[in-house]
Amino acid sequence: MLHIKNVSHTYGKLVSLRDVSLRVGRRDIVCLLGPSGCGKTTLLRIIAGLETNYQGQLMLDGADIGSTPVHRRQFGLMFQDFALFPHMSVADNIAYGLLRRGIRRALAGAQVESLLERVGLAGMGDRDIASLSGGQKQRVALARSLAPNPRLLMLDEPLGSLDAQLRDQLALELRSLIKEQGLSAIYVTHDHREAYAVADRIAVMDVGSVEQVDTPRDLYLRPRSAFVARFLGMRNVFSLNHSRFTQEIGCMALPDEKRSDTLLIHPAGIRLGSSREGRMLYCDAQLQSKVFRGDYYDVSASIDEATTLFFAAPQVAAQIGDAVSLEVSLDAVIPL
| Three-class secondary structure of residue 159 per DSSP | coil
Write the CB contacts of 187 (distance below 8 Å, at least 6 apart in sequence). Answer: 29, 30, 31, 32, 154, 155, 158, 174, 195, 198, 199
CATH number of the domain where residue 273 is located: 2.40.50.140
Q: Are 97 and 111 in contact (CB under 8 A)?
A: no
CATH number of the domain where residue 79 is located: 3.40.50.300
* Whether residues 42 and 111 fall in one domain: yes
* Whether residues 119 and 249 fall in one domain: no
Percentage of the chain surpassing pLDDT 70?
99
Give the chain's domain count: 2
- Among 228, 260, 290, the domain boundary falls at 228
* pLDDT tens figures, 203-218: 999 999 999 999 999 9
* Whether residues 161 and 99 fall in one domain: yes
* pLDDT tens figures, 81-93: 778 888 989 999 9
Mean pLDDT of 121-139: 87
* Whether residue 252 has pLDDT greater than 70: yes
Specify the pTM. Answer: 0.89
Over the chain, what is the mean pLDDT?
Answer: 91
* pLDDT tens figures, 30-87: 999 999 989 999 999 999 999 989 999 999 999 999 999 988 898 988 877 778 888 9
* Whether residues 240 and 219 fall in one domain: no
pLDDT score recorded for residue 47: 95
How long, in residues, is the chain?
A: 336
pLDDT score recorded for residue 276: 65
* Whether residues 271 and 222 fall in one domain: no
Q: Are strands 14-24 and 29-33 parallel, antiparallel or unpaired?
A: unpaired
* Whether residue 157 has pLDDT greater than 90: no
Query: Which value, in Å, is the radius of gyration of the alpha carbons in the chain?
Result: 24
- Among 228, 246, 267, the domain boundary falls at 228
Q: Are 286 and 323 in contact (CB under 8 A)?
A: yes
* Whether residues 130 and 166 fall in one domain: yes
pLDDT score recorded for residue 204: 98
* Whether residues 25 and 122 fall in one domain: yes
* Whether residues 97 and 210 fall in one domain: yes
CA dist list (Å): 168 to 135, 179, 191, 235, 335: 11, 17, 11, 24, 32
Q: How far apart are CA 326 and CA 249, in angstroms?
A: 13
Which of 104-118, 210-224, 240-254 has the least mean pLDDT?
104-118
- Among 184, 209, 228, the domain boundary falls at 228
Mean pLDDT of 194-203: 96
* Whether residues 137 and 23 fall in one domain: yes
- Domain with 242 in it: 236-335
* Whether residues 29 and 82 fall in one domain: yes
* Whether residues 209 and 242 fall in one domain: no
Beta bridge mates, 205: 210
* Whether residues 172 and 286 fall in one domain: no
**What b-and-e string marks burial along 141-179, b requiring 16 or more CB atoms within 10 Å of the CB?**
bbbbbbbbebbbbbbbbbbeebeeeebeebbebbbebbe
CA dist list (Å): 266 to 43, 143, 201, 238, 333: 31, 40, 21, 11, 6
Q: How far apart are CA 286 and CA 298, in angstroms?
A: 15
